[in-house]
Amino acid sequence: MNKKLNTALFIVGATLANMILIFIFLVLLILLTGVLFPEPSPGFAQILVLLVFFLSLGLSFLVYHRVMKLLSRKIDMDAYFHPVFRPRRKK
């Protein structure tokens, strides 16, 4: 496999992993919210759903960021992956 294919597969895999993380955190936080607030009022429930959604996004970002940091320390990314963004050339 070449570097471009490795990069494309890595991006697809990392995106799927991030989506799975978001889903896991969303389900866990909804279950936790259901235990902590068994029957909230409708207005408060809407706020809780928004809070749970944004909290799951934030938590998945933090976990994803930590895992990518760990992988970049262990693996030389430049040897296996093509750069996605190239620096601009000065004229």
**Residue 22 CB neighbour total at 10 angstroms:** 19
Q: Which of 61, 10, 52, 46 is nearest to 32 (CA)?
A: 52
* For range 41-67, the mean pLDDT: 93
| pLDDT for 84 | 75
- Average pLDDT over every residue of 25-44: 92
Q: Contact, 77 vs 58, CB < 8 A? A: no
Q: What is the pLDDT of residues 72-89, one digit of tens each?
A: 888 887 777 877 777 777
Length of the chain: 91
**Per-residue pLDDT for 62 more than 70?**
yes
Mean of the pLDDT values across residues 5-26? 91
Residue 17: band (very low, low, confident or very high) from pLDDT cuts 50, 70, 90:
very high
Distance CA(34)–CA(16), nearest Å, equals 27
